[in-house]
Chain A
Amino acid sequence: MASERILPLQSAEEAVATGRRRRALSDTEFALAFGVPVLVFLVLVVAYPLGYAVWMSLHRIMFFGGYRSTFVGLRNFERVLVDAGFWWSSWVTVRLTAEAVVLTMLIGLGLALMLNRTRAARGLTRTLVFLPWCVSTYGAGLMFAYLARGQTGLGTSIAYALGYSQPVDLMTSGLVIEVLAVGAAWTMAPLVAFFLLANLQTIPKRLYDLAALDQLSPLETFWHVTLPPLRYTLFVFASIVTVLTMKLFDFVFVMTGGGPGTASATLTYQIYKISFENLDLGYGAAMSFYLLFLIIASTLLLYLVWGRREVLR
């Protein structure tokens, strides 16, 4: 693929241009024709709400006793920094994300390796394994809420089947984040597996024959033959899963509602509560910028400690 990039497209285009035919659209013209409408769309639809959020974060907005807004400068941002609820939610978000990313990547890799080997009923197996991805995050939230709760849960059913008569509630304040992480991994792992499987299909069979000739153990084969072409995709999806987990809202909303207490109040849930229940829009907007900062900072960190090495490889 790298060699393909070396061939300059420009020269091929100039070859056409010097021919008898009418000169085709140049790269820049093509980019203008297709890129500009899309950018206008993105600016209108993304930048306007973003600008509006900036405006809100600089104001104190009140609904009770008539709508009014007063400019307060950076006071909302200062308030966030001394808010214990914000720091707790940040910790919950970071813990959930770290657990969900590790679980999703490991399970995704495992599923991809298995699917790559499976020959029997291939289409059916693939579809069944990819099925969780078809479940919306809010649907998955409902499923895991029922799976984890004491009355209806998996734990209780197993306990009863084993002869115990004590319900097992997994939605306790100590465990609820882990349960959320498992649920998040359940919905996202198929996406990772899907892309890793596509990458696995490009590894030449010949390499495995050579590895067999060298009498590499299965672990060594995995480490030296299978893993290297996957590493970059693994990094990219670690970033994607990080972003998706930090943005996760409806899953937490339907599954735990931030509870028990505030044990699973992620930043997204906290912002929702401040903006939609307390109707403190300016403060909620300010906090959402801290979330945006956290998302960008953690993907950047991933890039610096891992991605940079993979790009140079």
Chain B
Amino acid sequence: MKRTGFLAVALVVALFWSLVPIYWFCRMAFLTPLEIQHYPWPLIPHAPNPAAFYNIFGFRYVLSGNLVSPASGQAAQIIRGLKDSFLVSLIVMVVTLAITLPLAYMFARMEFRYKNSLLFAILFAVALPPVSTLIPFYAMYVRLGLAGTLSGLVIVDLTLTVPFVTWMLIGYFRNLPPIERLAWMDGYGRLAAFVRLVLPLARSGVAVAAVIAFLFAWNEFTYALVLVNGTTANTLPTAVSGFLHQYPEPGNLAASVLITIVPPALVAYFLQRHVSEMNLVDPVR
């Protein structure tokens, strides 16, 4: 009985910790223009006002008393950003999986020369700070005509996701039972055994790797700011950052940050059931 009580308290504390910053923005998004003019803002909006969510998508909203909340000038960028971010994140997710699945399997289950040095080369790529590669990337992209293009952004995102996801998946593949040997005995080749047997068995690890790759690309801001911002290719994070300079509209800023959370949150909800099957251990040992 005492333990259940303790657990309940822990649960409440954990939920508070996780949700207060998000609630802070929810509240900001729903404040009325009048409430926003007076600090401090009320903890709970008295009359929740959904105008910001209309405004950021380019619709005006008529408040009570015939006040009109105008469509945001940033709406075009937000919509384009949503579209581009989806496209980039999906492509990055698919390509990351196509690259890292065989690679991680290779490191987890096979013995070959230079294995450890190759592994450390990949981990080195994880340690590389984006600020030190920003300018070289920009210079290279201008030369190659990739600056301001979505394909350029996909390539940069891949340099972040491939090393990280590989690192994560190696441990996962290592823990799978070695059933592919049975397949070899039945005459399957390496490739066929991998595609038909190992991948279906590892589907929960594959799913989690997919979410991580998607999230990395969806939330990438530093490279996007330098490489594609201000061009026709524009991802959601850079579109949202446009609100930073419009100080009087914190409601729109809050609403646009909140919509960036929705797609990954949905993905996380549908994939959390795989957590109990996951067993990830570090590959370097």
> Across the interface, which residues of B come within 8 angstroms of A292, CB to CB?
127-129, 132
Inter-chain contact B128/A25, CB cutoff 8 Å: no
Contact, CB under 8 Å: B121 / A42? yes
Q: Are B136 and A131 within 8 A (Cβ)?
A: no
Give Cα A191–Cα B219 distance, bound, in whole angstroms: 15
Given contacts A9-B110, A114-B7, A152-B40, contact A247 B118 (CB under 8 A): no
Which residue from chain A places its CB closest to the CB of B175 in the assembled complex?
Answer: A1
Assess whether B135 is in contact with A10, with CB atoms less than 8 Å apart: no
A64 within 8 A of B: no
Q: Which residues of A lie under 8 Å from residue B122 when comparing CB positions?
A: 42
Cβ contact of A134, chosen from B17, B140, B162, B264, cutoff 8 A: B264
Alpha-carbon separation in the docked complex, A284 to B191 (Å):
46
A134's closest neighbor in chain B, by CB?
Answer: B264
Q: Are A247 and B129 in contact (CB under 8 A)?
A: yes
Shortest C-beta distance, B5 to chain A (Å), equals 13
Q: Knowing A50-B128, A167-B40 are in contact, say whether A128-B19 is a contact too (CB < 8 A).
A: yes
Q: Does B244 contact A (CB under 8 A)?
A: yes
**Complex interface: chain A residues within 8 A of B110 (CB):** 9, 27, 30-31
B3 CB to closest chain A CB (Å) equals 8
Interface residues of A in 194-216 (CB under 8 A from B): 194-195, 197-199, 201-202
Chain B residues with CB under 8 A of A233: 280-282
B34 at the interface (CB under 8 A from A): no
Interface readout for B190-226 with A: 1 if CB under 8 Å, 0 if not? 1100000000000000000000000100111110011
Query: Shortest CB–CB separation between residue A263 and chain B, in angstroms?
Result: 19
> Is the beta-carbon distance between B102 and A34 smaller than 8 angstroms?
yes
Q: Which residues 253-282 of B sit at the A interface, judged by CB distance below 8 A? A: 253, 257, 260-261, 264-265, 268-269, 272-273, 275-276, 278-282
A183 to chain B, nearest CB (A): 8
Contacts A107-B17, A131-B19, A199-B279 given; does A139 touch B106 at CB 8 Å: no
In the bound complex, residues from chain B placing their C-beta under 8 Å from that of A135 are: 21-22, 219, 257, 260-261
Known: A12-B181, A138-B241, A292-B129. A38 touches B103 (CB 8 A): yes
Beyond A125-B11, A127-B272, A201-B276, is A24–B133 a contact (Cβ under 8 Å)?
no
Q: Does A146 lie within 8 Å of B24, measured CB to CB? A: yes
For A219, list chain B residues within 8 Å (CB): none
Asked if A39 contacts B112 (CB within 8 A), the reply is no
Number of interface residues of A (CB under 8 A): 104
Contacts of B131 in A (CB 8 A): 247, 249, 268, 271-272, 275, 288, 291
A104 to B43 CA separation, bound complex (whole angstroms): 27
Tell me, yes or no, whether B18 is within 8 Å of chain A by CB.
yes
* Contact A38–B136 (Cβ < 8 Å): no
B48 at the interface (CB under 8 A from A): no
Kindly state whether residue B87 has any CB partner on chain A within 8 Å: no
Interface of B (DSSP majority class):
helix
Knowing A156-B40, A157-B43 are in contact, say whether A16-B132 is a contact too (CB < 8 A): no
B125, B130, B264: which contacts A42 (Cβ < 8 A)? B125
A176 at the interface (CB under 8 A from B): no
Q: Which residue of B22, B99, B188 has the most chain A CB atoms within 10 A of its CB atom?
A: B22
A46–B279 CB distance below 8 A:
no
Q: How many residues of B contact A (CB 8 A)?
A: 94
Chain A residues with CB under 8 A of B269: 123, 127
- Among residues 1 to 41 in chain B, which have CB atoms less than 8 Å away from a CB atom of chain A? 7, 10-11, 14-15, 17-22, 24-25, 28, 39-41
Complex alpha-carbon distance, A12 and B281, angstroms: 25
Q: Which residues of A contact B273 (CB under 8 A)?
A: 123
Task: Name the contact of B278 in the complex, choosing from A39, A45, A118, A198 (C-beta under 8 A).
Answer: A198
**Any B CB within 8 A of the CB of A265:** no
* A278, CB-defined interface residue at 8 Å: no
Partner of A202 from B41, B188, B240, B279 at Cβ < 8 Å: B279
Q: Which of chain B's residues 98-125 have a Cβ closer than 8 Å to chain A? A: 99, 102-103, 106, 109-113, 118, 121-122, 125
Q: A311 at the A/B interface (Cβ < 8 Å)?
A: yes
* Complex Cα spacing A107 to B14, Å: 9
Q: Kindly state the separation between the CA atoms of A53 and B188 in the bound complex, as whole angstroms.
A: 47
Are A133 and B133 in contact, with the CB atoms below 8 A? no
A4 touches B178 (CB 8 A): yes
A289 at the A/B interface (Cβ < 8 Å)? yes
B170-195 interface code vs A (CB 8 A; 1 in, 0 out): 00001101100100110111110000
Shortest B41–chain A CB gap in Å is 7
Task: Identify the closest chain B residue to A271 (Cβ).
Answer: B131
A38 to B99 alpha-carbon distance, docked (Å): 7
When distances are taken between beta carbons in the complex, the residues of chain B under 8 Å from A302 are: none
Across-interface contacts of A249 in B (CB, < 8 A) = 129-131, 222
Q: Is the pair B272, A190 in contact by a Cβ cutoff of 8 Å?
A: no
Q: Is the CB of B106 within 8 A of A30?
A: yes
Known: A9-B109, A34-B102, A146-B28. A50 touches B136 (CB 8 A): yes
Q: Knowing that A42-B122, A128-B15, A135-B219 touch, tell me 7 more A-B residue pairs with CB under 8 angstroms.
A: A1-B175, A34-B106, A49-B133, A134-B264, A142-B253, A157-B41, A247-B127
Q: 23 A-B Cβ contacts within 8 A?
A: A1-B281, A7-B178, A12-B184, A15-B185, A24-B188, A31-B106, A38-B99, A38-B162, A51-B136, A56-B135, A114-B7, A118-B7, A127-B269, A133-B215, A134-B261, A135-B22, A136-B218, A136-B260, A152-B250, A154-B20, A157-B41, A199-B279, A201-B279
User: Which 5 residue pairs across A and B have the least CB separation, nearest first?
Assistant: A288-B132, A136-B219, A49-B136, A52-B136, A134-B264
